Structure 1
């Protein structure tokens, strides 16, 4: 998906190489939950 608002964790990390392992451990669960919420929202709109 090519949008300036929606980013997967892999895309975000590629754009921000300064993220260290400690920070990554905190950010990964949050970003993954945002991805799942976005998917759920889109599915709700389609139903």
Structure 2
């Protein structure tokens, strides 16, 4: 999906190089789920 509002974990890491590689493995599932929840919430508001 191409949008400026939704980002995958890979895009997020590319934009934030300060993220420690060791912590990235722990952060990835949580950040991706938060991103998906926020996107679903916004889509629900628009419908």
Q: What TM-score range do you get, normalising by the shorter chain? A: 0.5 to 0.7
Check conservation: 2:13, 2:19, Cα contact below 8 A.
yes
Runs of 5+ consecutive residues of structure 2 not aligned to the other structure = none
Displacement of 1:25 in angstroms is 0.9
Tell me the TM-score normalized by structure 2.
Answer: 0.58
Larger RCO, structure (CA 8 Å, separation 6 or more): 2
Does 1:27 pair with 2:27?
A: yes
Q: CA RMSD in A?
A: 2.1
**Which portions of structure 1, spanning 4 or more consecutive aligned residues, are displaced by more than 6 angstroms?**
none
Aligned length: 43
